[in-house]
Amino acid sequence: MVEMKKYKLGDIAEIVISSVDKKTKPGEKIVRLCNFTDVYHNWAIKQSDYDSFMVASASDSNINKLSLKKGFVAFTKDSETRDDIGISTYIADDFDDVVLGYHCALAKPNEKIVYGKYLNAFMSSDYIKKYFELNATGSGMRFTLAVSTMEDMPIMLPSLNVQKKIGDVLSDFDQRIENLRAQNRVLEQTAKTIYDYTFLQCAGHQTTYNKTLNRNIPVGWEVCTIGNYIKENKGGDWGKENPEKNYNLRVSCIRGADIDKMTDLPIRYILAKNSSRLLQEFDLVVEISGGSPTQSTGRSRLMTKELLEMFDNKLICSNFCQAITMKNPQYAYYISFMWKMFYDNGIFFNFEGKTSGIKNFQLDQFVDTMWFFPNLKTVEKFNAQVAPLIKKQLFNAKQIEALTTQRNTLLPLLMTGQIEV
């Protein structure tokens, strides 16, 4: 049996609370921001994540306190639900200009006592998750961790040598997961290149100038409103956190923050009569409320058969999203790539309004936008090329989920000394 010593987190690590928001302010230095979602969705933060961090600004004081350095552990501090609090990630590399964002905290371990990888693993245990869940303060739509709760977090430590072995084993799982994610990034870029080549560069097509769009498009392609190819028929439904009277249909729910990741979706309970809102194959889920000052609403994710099967075909989007259905499913891949192209180019900033400070995507205005739509033959050829790439991405996602489950199963066994490295 491994000998363990009991500590409080505040005795073995310095804890710093972040107040750095997503704004770029005059007089502050430009930085990259590791946000709540970056912490929430990653077992470790690495240099390979750098380009995904948003650009913001921070004061010299915050840069000094909250810069990410190898060996630190970041974790979520505030959220809409209790079980989203205390989710941790290990900082695996040194960063020169990346700081931790708002609603998160940074633990800087005393390396003579605790190994950062082990601390991250321990904070991912069910024991600590339950500790944070029970000790979170607040109600309704916002829960938070008090400084005293973080400092008093109990932690059991074996020797540094054992900590290192356990941390390294679990990090090996992380590396395998990261390799699969890297493959998915390549697959995504390949599919985007095919889209650009086929539709934006109009390769292999005889083109003619279109006055409405002020650009050349292939002969025979239709120019009309985007709304002519889609219909809106599913609103979001956040439902209830726990089953109540009539709220007994158990579903997984996509929030705006989940669209890019599609992992660890919150479980909710909705009215059985709202089952018509369940997502179907080729629905496009769009974030319509939220966003940040430097990030527009309008992020989207196409629902494929394989993706829906990952959630037992019981998937719904939250009130901050909208699901739209294609009039012709053959155009689903084309429209989803078109949508992402508009998002990446900041077009959706032109279709945003505000309600109580929250940005809202004016979907009804956007669908009146004129755009071009290829003939069915070109679309079918495009589908045949990109569908296998998307299917491979989902296969990798399933592998990631399986490895994550294995890692989480192994975690308590290593922590309690039931098995040794």
pLDDT at 294 over 60: no
Question: Which CATH number belongs to the domain containing residue 409 in this structure?
Answer: 1.10.287.1120
Average pLDDT over residues 16-36: 92
Q: Are 9 and 152 in contact (CB under 8 A)?
A: yes
Domain count, the chain: 3
Q: Do residue 60 and residue 105 come from a single domain?
A: yes
* Residue ranges of E strands in 72-113: 73-76, 78-79, 88-91, 98-100, 104-109
Q: Do residue 71 and residue 113 come from a single domain?
A: yes
Torsion angles phi and psi, residue 114, rounded to 5: -135, 140
Q: How far apart are the first and last CA of the chain?
A: 12
The least confident of 149-153, 284-288, 343-347 is 343-347
Confirm whether 212 is domain-assigned.
no
117: which strand partners? Answer: none
Q: pLDDT above 90 covers what percent of the chain?
A: 62
pLDDT at 225 over 90: yes
Confirm whether 209 is domain-assigned.
no
Confirm whether 206 is domain-assigned.
no
Is pTM, for the whole model, over 0.85? Answer: no
Confirm whether 349 is domain-assigned.
yes
Q: What is the pLDDT of residues 369-410, one digit of tens each?
A: 999 999 999 999 999 999 999 999 999 988 988 898 888 888
Q: Do residue 63 and residue 180 come from a single domain?
A: no
pLDDT at 51 over 80: yes
Q: Do residue 103 and residue 60 come from a single domain?
A: yes
Instruction: Find, among 291, 290, 274, the residue nearest to 234 by Cα.
Output: 274
pLDDT at 297 over 70: yes
Confirm whether 164 is domain-assigned.
yes
Write down the pLDDT at residue 100.
Answer: 97
Confirm whether 216 is domain-assigned.
no
Q: Do residue 264 and residue 285 come from a single domain?
A: yes
Q: Do residue 315 and residue 178 come from a single domain?
A: no
Specify the higher pLDDT residue, 406 or 354: 406
Q: Do residue 58 and residue 149 come from a single domain?
A: yes
**Which residues constitute the domain of residue 243?**
222-372
Q: Would you call 25 exposed, middle or buried from its count of C-beta atoms within 10 A (0-12, 13-18, 19+)? A: exposed
Instruction: Write the single-letter amino acid at 217.
Output: I
Mean pLDDT over all residues of the chain? Answer: 90
Q: Do residue 32 and residue 146 come from a single domain?
A: yes
Q: Do residue 126 and residue 169 come from a single domain?
A: no
Write down the pLDDT at residue 168.
Answer: 86
Write down the pLDDT at residue 413.
Answer: 83
Write down the pLDDT at residue 139.
Answer: 67
Q: Do residue 162 and residue 71 come from a single domain?
A: no
Question: Which CATH number belongs to the domain containing residue 259 in this structure?
Answer: 3.90.220.20
Write down the pLDDT at residue 40.
Answer: 87
Q: What is the pLDDT of residues 126-173, one digit of tens each?
A: 888 889 988 988 866 678 999 999 999 999 899 999 899 888 888 888
Place of tokens 């990446």: 344
Q: Do residue 186 and residue 295 come from a single domain?
A: no
